[in-house]
């Protein structure tokens, strides 16, 4: 969202659900970052005051991309303390970074730490020997990352760190009038309603869909199908008919900076 001016060894002792999460995390690890140049372009564009990136992906590609390009960002976690970064909601209120990353479904680098209410970002190399800068050892309770998967995730939106992120997402929607969407399959009913409600909140709110065949999306979501045609005709949903990797930065910034 934008504001103008915007492999495989089975670990012992994990449940079926935990194994699924572990397996997903293993396969999400990659050294390649392709097709995300647009993100860097938008983050560097001086005409965009705030760039909020809401991603339902569990990987850390966007974070790594921004770091590789020396672009500061806020992700809701505090400074590094040894092998951990602890959740700090006030990080989202920083004025020192115009880019914020919101991950309502969690992340492969979030881990539950014994004695800590919310997951922390693990930035060390050994989960079995996790220490703070002081040398104090911290115990990772569950050797799988904290992220959501499966149909029960919608209920989890209402508790713990996920409720905090969901709140910040709702807040971000209220603060922006431009939404650039790519890669979302419209399979999460709760998210769908947030988007549709946002479109209906103000006549100034508009969404650009980066999708080669955007009409396919209305077959996946009843909520989108109900408003799709009308909003397209009104110019409130702009169809780019390109993937994110193909989108021209000038076209996207033109949409964001529309009158």
Q: Region 33-44: what's the mean pLDDT?
A: 91
The pLDDT of residue 10: 33
Q: 71-75: long-range contacts at Cβ-Cβ below 8 A with a sequence spacing of 24 or more?
A: 71/40, 71/43, 71/44, 71/99, 72/96, 72/97, 72/99, 73/43, 73/97, 73/99, 73/100, 73/101, 74/99, 74/100, 74/101, 75/100, 75/101, 75/103, 75/121
- The Cα–Cα gap between 57 and 149 comes to 10
Does residue 236 contact residue 199 with C-beta atoms inside 8 Å? Answer: yes
The strand pair at 2-4 and 48-54 is best described as: antiparallel
Kindly report, residue by residue over 71-130, the tens digit of the pLDDT: 999 999 999 999 999 999 999 998 889 999 999 999 999 999 999 999 999 999 999 999
The pLDDT of residue 154: 74
Residue 8 pLDDT > 50: no
Kindly report, residue by residue over 122-174, the tens digit of the pLDDT: 999 999 999 999 999 999 987 678 887 766 777 778 899 999 999 999 999 99
Residue 193 pLDDT > 70: yes
Residue 64 pLDDT > 70: yes
**CB within 8 Å of 220: residues ≥ 6 apart:** 185, 186, 187
Q: Which residue has the higher pLDDT, 244 or 31?
A: 244
What average pLDDT is seen over the chain?
A: 86
**C-alpha distance from residue 112 to each of 38, 83, 160, 162, 194 (Å):** 33, 13, 11, 13, 28
The pLDDT of residue 14: 35
Sheet of strand 206-210: strand arrangement: 73-74, 99-102, 48-54, 2-4, 178-182, 206-210, 237-239
Q: Which residue has the higher pLDDT, 3 or 200?
A: 200
The pLDDT of residue 250: 96
pLDDT band, very low/low/confident/very high, at 228 (cuts 50, 70, 90): very high
- The Cα–Cα gap between 110 and 119 comes to 6
Residue 31 pLDDT > 70: no
pLDDT band, very low/low/confident/very high, at 213 (cuts 50, 70, 90): very high
The pLDDT of residue 34: 81
**CB within 8 Å of 31: residues ≥ 6 apart:** none
- The Cα–Cα gap between 123 and 109 comes to 7
Residue 212 pLDDT > 90: yes
The pLDDT of residue 15: 35
Could you tell me the residue ranges of all domains in the chain? 17-176, 177-258
Q: Region 221-248: what's the mean pLDDT?
A: 94
Does residue 179 contact residue 1 with C-beta atoms inside 8 Å? Answer: yes
Residue 20 pLDDT > 90: no
The pLDDT of residue 33: 77
Which of 158, 191, 157 has the alpha carbon at shortest distance from 172? 191
For the chain, state the CA radius of gyration. 19
């Amino acid at each position: 969202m934008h504001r103008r001016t915007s492999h495989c060894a089975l670990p012992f002792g994990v449940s079926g659900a935990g194994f699924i999460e572990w397996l997903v995390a293993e396969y999400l690890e990659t050294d390649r970052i392709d097709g995300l140049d647009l993100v860097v372009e938008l983050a560097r564009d001086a005409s965009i005051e705030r760039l909020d990136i809401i991603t339902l992906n569990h990987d850390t590609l966007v974070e790594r991309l921004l770091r590789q390009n020396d672009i500061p960002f806020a992700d809701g976690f505090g400074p590094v303390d040894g092998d951990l970064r602890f959740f700090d909601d006030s990080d989202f209120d920083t004025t020192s970074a115009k880019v914020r990353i919101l991950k309502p479904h969690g992340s492969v680098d979030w881990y539950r730490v014994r004695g800590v209410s919310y997951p922390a970002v693990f930035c060390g190399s050994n989960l079995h020997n996790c220490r703070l800068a002081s040398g104090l050892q911290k115990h990772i309770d569950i050797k799988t990352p904290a992220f959501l998967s499966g149909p029960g995730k919608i209920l989890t939106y209402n508790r713990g760190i996920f409720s905090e992120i969901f709140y910040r997402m709702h807040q971000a929607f209220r603060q922006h009038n431009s939404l650039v969407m790519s890669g979302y399959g419209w399979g999460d009913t709760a998210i769908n309603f947030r988007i549709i409600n946002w479109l209906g909140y103000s006549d100034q709110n508009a969404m650009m869909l980066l999708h080669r065949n955007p009409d396919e999306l209305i077959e996946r979501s009843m909520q989108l199908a109900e408003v799709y045609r009308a909003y397209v005709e009104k110019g409130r949903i702009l169809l780019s008919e390109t993937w994110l990797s193909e989108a021209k930065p000038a076209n996207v910034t033109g949409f964001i900076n529309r009158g």
